[in-house]
Structure 1
Amino acid sequence: MTMRQAAKQQTRRDIQGLRAIAVALVVVYHLNPATLPGGYVGVDMFFVISGFLITGQLVREAETSGRIDLPRFWARRAKRLLPAALLVLLVTVLAVWTIAPLGLRPAFLTQVAASAGYAQNWVLAAQSVDYSAAETWASPVQHFWSLSVEEQFYIVWPLIAVVALVLLRRSRRSDNGTGDRFPRFLQNLTMLVALVTIASFITSVVLTTVDPQAAYFVTPTRAWEFAIGGLIACALPTSRVMTRLERWLTPSARSAMAWLGLIGIGASVVTFSDATPFPGWIALLPVISTALIIVAAEPETRWSPQPLLARPTMQWLGDISYGAYLWHFPLIVLLPFAFGGSLGVLGTLTVITATLVLAHLSKIAVEDPFRTGFSKAWSNKRTLAVTAVGVAAMLAVPIVSLGSVDRQIVTERDRVASIVANPTECLGATSLNSDSGCDPAPLQLPIPEPALADQAPERCLSDLEGAQVRKCTYGAEPGTAIRTIALVGDSHAEQWLTPLKRIAEQNNWRLIVMAKASCPFTSAERDFVSFGEPKRAELRQDCLDWNAEVLEELEQEPQVDAVVTSAKAANKVVSNSASKWQEAAAEGYERRWNELPETVGTVVAIEDTPELQEDLMRCVTEEGETAATSCAEPAKDALGDDPLSDAAASSERAELISMNDYLVVDDDCPPVIGGVLVYRDSHHLNWAYTEMLTEPLADALEEVLPEHSETVA
């Protein structure tokens, strides 16, 4: 095929082959990232292909009619994309209700609604800086983020072509007749697309440095990838460019380009990983590699990769690639719940088979009929109206369902709270009593279910961003309390809210809670190493300001005679010596405690709790009854150096207590003890288990706190 033929041809075998490669990379990556650590670049390949094809359609329409019919364009896109997508979302909602754990349903249904509205990428970008969402489960529709980016592209991109036509009509140099005006239209369009490419690429590089988590999902960091495909589509139809390209790029040169492109994609797949800052400038490798194959345009030489890309299997997979992308991720996320464990080899084969079968069936039964069958005679207005109704219905179904799910969660949470408040002899922490004769790791499913572990009855935690102090009070009123204590610190301090609240209620104490996500109570400068500048500096300042406000709040609470605090031991602080940040952290704690009002007689530091494997909740869910042993972590690995404990040991004002005897069993840290789930993620304790530590925590406090006066504070 010559490059002139490629410029006019709407269906190309090499592009179908590229689609097949792209979807295969994504599916394998999602099934097992270790196999193809950079397999996510398949999404970038799709973006370049879409930019090329859609821009090509707009260019051909402008060439033949001299205008861009926006309603027609959007109606065609709606017919092509929405029916299959809405079907997958509907089936996913039904599956979520049927097999997903109760605790995961609110998040899953919310993301289905976001996907139906094609805003999933912005939801994920927002969650990427949400401290509480750091270890959340992947939703079965999380992959819709890329489809959301594409849909936003389809809405905006034809408007750029319209602007190019408007500029043409306003140009004094434009001639009469479409044939003379078309090259000028292409010049205008090329200029606009080039501006988008430059602006988006700069945004991508900067935001990937500043906020890499959000940069991965947002549309401005990805628009340049579509635009690269668009620039190719703008260049190929112009006779001047085409003549030069065909003179320079002989079939042999184009074959070399195509192979170079495939090698570049392969290099991306094997050298990139989740740790690679992406997209940023490094995304140039898969993007330019894909562009090289498109520009090569099916070169006809003996050693061309065209026979590989044109194989019937590749063409078939490319033809169903959209459906395969839609179906594979809900199967990967939801089937383990149906199997009652991890996918394994059989589950992986089931996912691959089901993905291909469902993609093929949805292609012939849904995609094709809507695109070229019964709806062919529909007007643009009718098509857009029907698809709008479908989207609205798919938005309404999960949103309406959320109320029912929330009520079920409250009921289950109350049931668990009742059980742990009045435990049987061998339940949870009671099984650790030396004379109980209980097995701390019984073969039974834990309570609450892992997906409900984060649904505490009471929370009081300020967000990661911002410096405003959220102040919560529990227990006795100020005029009747016989003691007032303050719980202050990060989320590792706040995890003790449940038992401290109960202690306060039992002893006529007043409890004040002021906690902030990932921000310990210290004068040292917390260092948010996982963020780029300036977000990193912003979060550091937020934490410093929050600390200052907490000190002011305590100054205004002279009744507070004790401060209870804890902090995640692994969270670094700014230090002159990177190897001695723990010393700086310990000094920061001690300095902060010395700044407390004189009315605070004692600082009680609770030693930090163990940190287990990152995917702990998934392990517990998949391992089920054997999770207590199979998901356990050796105590020597789970318990690291704790600067807070070091500070308490050297401070005259502080007392150190530890609850880790209730978290370590036979030198291991099990995630389930006595049938009760100990953690809510890899390093935070579950509220149900801490509820059962009320009595031992009260005993520990009694040993270190001075006797309080019986007079009202």
Structure 2
Amino acid sequence: MSNTIVLPTQRAGEPGDSRAVSTGFPVPRRFRPDIQGLRTIAIVTVALYHAGVPFLAGGYIGVDVFFVISGFLITRQLVAEAAANGRVSLVRFYAARFRRLLPPAAVVVAASVVVAHYVLPYQQMKSLMTDVRYAAFYGVNYHFAHEGVRYQNASEPPSAIQHFWSLAVEEQFYAVWPVLILLCCLLGRHRLRYRLVISAIAAITVATLAYSVAISAGQAPLAYFSLQTRAWELGFGALVALTADQWARLSSGICQILGWVGLGAVLAAAVLYDEHTVYPGVAAVVPVAGAAMLIGAGMLRHDRTPETFLLERPSMQYAGKVSYAWYLWHWPMLILLPAWVGHPLSVWEQVEIVCLAFWFAVLTYFLEDAARRARRTAFGWIWAGALLSTFVALCSVVGTFTLPSLTTSGVARTALALNAPDVTAVQAALVRSIPIEKLPRNLTPPLAEAPQDAPPGWRTCGFADLNQTEIRPCIAGDASADKVAVVLGDSHAHQWMTALDQEAKRTGWKLVEITKGACPIANVQFFQNDLKREYRECDVFRRWAAAEVARLQPDLVIASQSNIAPWDNITDEEWARRSVAALVELAGSTASIAYIGDTPTFLTDPVTCLQRNLNEAQRCLVPRADAFGHFPDRYFVIADAMRRAGIGFIDSLPFFCTPQLCPSAVDNMAVYRDQGHITDTYATWLAPMLEPIFLGVPQ
């Protein structure tokens, strides 16, 4: 291998002056129009995927293409500097990153926050402020990874700046990569050692790819958002830059083949992948390798290549030039504009939003270009970047404390205590709450706190989160009692724990909770949207829970579940049959079984509705026929199946709805904490209605 670097001039394809530096590998510096076109493919696939275009169900691979491009360009830049100077200037490198990336990002974040202030409900706006603080210092990817494995966040809509996770991954990569190159310079006596660098980068690439494959199936949020599972994608681009000499020696024919194959791999992944694809993992190798081949094949100039026919067209070049700003704008516009108009948008309307975002990107590019040309020292840009990030973070803190008040001037009300299981008294409370327009000023919990009004002990014991397959059972009720009851099911069983605890203490029962988020008792397998794969943990947990029940030999099993968990891949009758079968299997381990009917799960979030209609609460009344969304009959099918199987059934629907309507606030109580769960306050008020469970439910 030659110890000479050839540095061509900036004009593509022209053999200008060059200089020899004893380093070990070539670092071409010409402009690459094919990469600009590849940027266009990446942003278009991502944006149209986010818009819901059906034939691009795998369009999320565009982010992976961006990673490969970034790995290639940044490594080429660092290696060129090290080859020319024998060192890498970290100050100059980070200043260049801040100069290019921060101004457009700050503008988009600021605009998103301002618009969100007017169109998003309180809780979403509060969450957005938290996201902004993490995004300001490029740590938002790990924030989303953490939030993604928490079941209580499963029903929340995506953040308006969720797409900043990929920018955070790149910035974290930029924090490490130049230091690695610099260390190699120092070890090489101020001259870059090719073998050392390529060995280190290859090792990092292989290790992070292996880690990505290992955890993609089991820890989807972390695998999707983290640097340690994405670094290999940037590593692929880096390795192409480091092997430029080898790519340049390939024949024109081989380059043509590799170029077309690479382009085909990227497009095929965008079309053939979907939400069920375990990602990134092994599946990501296809678009990543495709992008790497396409970049490598472009090391030589030749005719009749993908670059000539597609990537180098003027439209592709211009779109690629503004791709960064386009990426920044498209996602918040897709999130905030539907909130502004008040209803979901069609696919074509969302495509129009993506096109509108392009023109915002064109305008923003002028800011990006002006910042790039601004005369400021490297240290000046670093200070400016640090101050800008700090300013954005501080603004998000201030924004959190200046959110609009959710209090009203409505008349204070008092809920009448239930002293017995009297459904007539509950119905009377529902009926007198229906005409209320202004929410009572003493609403409990306050709407700002309603989403957090869940039973205590979340994630500590009794209730298993998405990734957990076992949990330490929680002991409630009368711990010294001889009679033992086990609470079994998902979060819709867990939401009754405070009420069950109260009644168990009063009637002399020990209560043991064994529940798991999004894991119904019905023995069904289904795709878990938050984990982006089949929910295998639920199957394992069910077996473990059954073994625990057999070990405890309780006097009573109390079960409940969401009827919406597997969405639309099972009929009502089959769902009921499997639910009954799961409980019948426990009959040998317990003397009695009771089943609490599911609570309403609406198509829209009642808390959000109340937050938007403090003085027009009647807008949040839901017809009883719509209480269970797309499954209006499942509740009644299950009730009939349970009774026929001899399982005691608690009819909970009258606790929430009159024969006509379901209010979201009853007397001075907020009923729901999200789209499908009730507040702990309301559940506690209903506690006497659960007394029959411990006294013997009529079958």
TM-score, scaled relative to structure 2: 0.75
Tell me by how many angstroms 1:216 deviates: 1.2
What is the CA-CA distance between 1:39 and the residue it aligns to?
0.7
1:225-269 deviation per Cα after TM superposition (whole angstroms, max 9, x unaligned): 111110110011x4xx25632xx3x1x443333222222222111
Residue matched to 1:575: none
Q: Any idea what SS the aligned residue of 2:458 has?
A: coil
Question: Match of 1:274, SS?
Answer: coil
Shift of 1:301: 1.6
In the TM superposition, what are the counterparts of 1:222-241 in structure 2 within 5 Å? 222-236=230-244, 238=245, 241=246
Q: Verify: 1:383 aligned to 2:381, yes or no.
A: yes
Structure with the larger helix share: 1
610 and 210 in structure 1: CA distance in 2 versus 1, 3 angstrom threshold: same
- For the residue of structure 1 that corresponds to 2:157, the secondary structure is coil
Aligned to 1:289: 290
Q: Check if 1:585 corresponds to 2:582.
A: yes
> Cα 1:648–1:701, aligned 2, differ >3 Å: closer, same or farther?
farther
Task: Give the 3-state SS of the residue equivalent to 1:341 in structure 2.
Answer: coil
Residues 641 and 453 of structure 1: CA distance in aligned 2, closer, same or farther (over 3 Å) = farther
Tell whether the 8 Å contact from 2:485 to 2:511 is kept in structure 1 after alignment: yes
Using the alignment, how far apart are the partners of 1:532 and 1:320 within structure 2? Answer: 31
Distance in 1 separating the partners of 2:48 and 2:508: 56
Q: How far did residue 570 of structure 1 move?
A: 7.8
1:125-274 to structure 2, matched below 5 A, reads 125-169=145-189, 185-236=193-244, 238=245, 241=246, 244-245=249-250, 248=251, 250=252, 252-274=253-275
Give the residue type in structure 1 aligned to 2:517.
S
Of 653, 672, 685 in structure 2, the residue corresponding to residue 660 of structure 1 is: 653
Return the alpha-carbon distance in structure 2 between the equivalents of residues 527 and 226 of structure 1: 35
Name 1:599's counterpart in structure 2: none
Q: Which residue of 2 aligns with 1:566?
A: 560
How far apart are 1:296 and its partner, in Å? 2.1
Q: Is the 8 A contact 2:98 2:381 kept in 1?
A: yes
Distance 1:134 1:302 in 2: 49
Counterpart code for 1:119:
G
Cα separation, 1, equivalents of 2:347 and 2:302:
40
Q: Distance in 2 between matches of 1:344 and 1:570?
A: 24
Q: Contact (CA 8 Å) 1:55, 1:233: kept in 2 or not?
A: yes
Q: Secondary structure at the match of 1:276?
A: coil
Q: Percent identity?
A: 28
Give the whole-Å Cα distance in 1 for the aligned partners of 2:389 and 2:550.
47
Note if 1:322 corresponds to 2:324: yes
Report the Cα offset of residue 622 of structure 1: 12
Q: 1:702 to 1:587 in 2, by over 3 A?
A: closer
Query: 1:204, 1:317 → 2: CA distance?
Result: 31
Instruction: Output one character per residue of 1:546-577: Cα deviation in whole Å (capped at 9) or x when no partner.
Output: 9969998x99xxxxx988543446889xxxxx
Matches for 1:422-571 after TM superposition, within 5 Å:
454-456=451-453, 459-462=456-459, 463-464=464-465, 465=468, 467-469=471-473, 490-496=490-496, 514=513, 516-518=515-517, 540=540, 544=544, 565-568=559-562
CA distance in 1, matches of 2:218, 2:540: 14
Question: Residue 122 in 1 paired to residue 142 in 2?
Answer: yes
Structure 1 residues 52-63: aligned runs within 5 Å: 52-63=72-83
Which amino acid is 1:658 matched to?
A: D
Match of 1:40, as an amino acid? Y
The Cα shift of 1:415 comes to: 7.6
The SS at the match of 2:302 is coil
The CA distance in 1 between the partners of 2:275 and 2:359, in whole Å, is: 30
Write the distance in 2 (CA, Å) between the matches of 1:538 and 1:699. Answer: 30
Give, as a single letter, the amino acid of the residue that structure 1 aligns with 2:202: A
How far apart, in 2, do the equivalents of 1:360 and 1:303 lie?
Answer: 28
Alignment of 1:690-705 (within 5 A): 694=686, 698=688, 701-702=691-692, 705=695
| Contact 2:601–2:676 under 8 Å retained in 1 | yes
Counterpart of 1:301 in 2: which secondary structure? coil
What is residue 397 of structure 2 aligned with on the other side? Answer: 399
Whether contact under 8 Å (2:433, 2:663) holds in the other structure is: no
Greater shift in the superposed pair: 282-291 or 625-634: 625-634
Q: Give the whole-Å Cα distance in 2 for the aligned partners of 1:33 and 1:689.
A: 41
1:41-120 alignment runs, 5 A limit: 41-120=61-140
Aligned Cα root-mean-square deviation (Å): 5.2
Q: Are 1:498 and 1:691, in contact at CA under 8 Å, matched by a contact in 2?
A: yes
Residues 562-601 of structure 1 deviation map (CA, whole Å, 9 limit, x = unaligned): 88543446889xxxxx99975763145435544xxxxxxx
How far off its partner does 1:360 sit?
Answer: 1.9
Once the two structures are TM-superposed, the CA of residue 164 in structure 1 deviates from its matched residue by: 2.2
| Alpha-carbon shift at residue 109 of structure 1 (Å) | 1.2
Q: Among residues 355, 358, 367, which one is paired with 1:356 in the alignment?
A: 358
2-structure distance, mates of 1:538, 1:688:
28
Deviation at 1:442, TM superposition (A): 12
The 1:44/1:443 distance shift into structure 2, 3 A limit, reads farther
**Structure 1's 42 and 593: CA in aligned 2 closer, same or farther, altered over 3 A?**
same
Matched residue, 2:4:
none
Structure 1 counterpart of 2:288, which letter? V
SS at match of 1:141: coil
Shift of 1:691: 7.6
Q: Separation in 1 of the partners of 2:386 and 2:484?
A: 57
2:21 maps to none
Rounded to whole Å, the distance in 2 between the matches of 1:430 and 1:89 is: 52
In structure 2, relative to structure 1, the CA distance for the partners of 1:44 and 1:449 (3 Å cut) is farther
Are the counterparts in 1 of residues 597 and 635 from structure 2 also a CA contact under 8 Å? Answer: no
CA distance in structure 2 between the partners assigned to 1:214 and 1:368 by the alignment: 34
Q: Give deviations 1:87-120, integer Å, cap 9, x for gaps.
A: 2222222223222101212221111111112111
Cα distance 1:660–1:632, how it changes in 2: closer, same or farther (>3 A)? closer
TM-superposed deviation, 1:15: 0.9
Q: Could you tell which deviates more after superposition, 273-282 or 9-18?
A: 9-18
| Counterpart residue type for residue 341 of structure 1 | H
The residue type paired with residue 271 of structure 1 is L
Is the partner of 1:210 in helix, strand or coil? coil
Answer yes or no: is the 8 Å Cα contact 2:455–2:494 preserved in 1.
no
Q: Which amino acid aligns with 2:596?
A: I
Q: Give the Cα–Cα distance (whole angstroms) in 1 for the partners of residues 306 and 519 of structure 2.
A: 60
Residue 214 (structure 1) shift? 2.4
User: Contact 2:527–2:535 at 8 Å: present in 1 too?
Assistant: no
Give the unaligned 5+ runs of structure 2.
1-11, 17-25, 418-422, 567-574, 614-618
| Correspondence for 2:334 among 332, 335, 354 | 332
CA offsets 1:485-517 (integer angstroms, 9 cap, x no match): 997754212323576689899x99999795644
Cα gap change, 1:80 to 1:590, in 2 (>3 Å):
same
Please state how far the C-alpha of 1:461 moved relative to its aligned partner.
Answer: 3.3
Mapped partners of 2:536, 2:318: distance in 1? 47
Encode CA deviations 1:349-392: one digit per residue, 9 max, x unaligned: 66234412322222212x2222221xx332x3232222112112
The aligned amino acid for 1:244 is R
Give, in angstroms, the shift of residue 308 of structure 1: 2.5
User: CA offsets, 1:387-417, max 9 Å, x none?
Assistant: 1121122222223443555x946x57x989x
Contact map agreement 1:48 1:225 (CA 8 A) in 2: yes
> Do the aligned partners of 2:276 and 2:532 also contact (CA within 8 Å) in 1?
no
Q: CA separation in 1, counterparts of 2:560 and 2:626?
A: 29
**Cα distance in 2 for residues equivalent to 1:332 and 1:534:** 28
CA separation of 1:215 and 1:486: change in aligned 2, threshold 3 A: closer
Indicate the residue corresponding to 2:8 in structure 1.
none
8 A contact 1:421–1:691 mirrored in 2: no
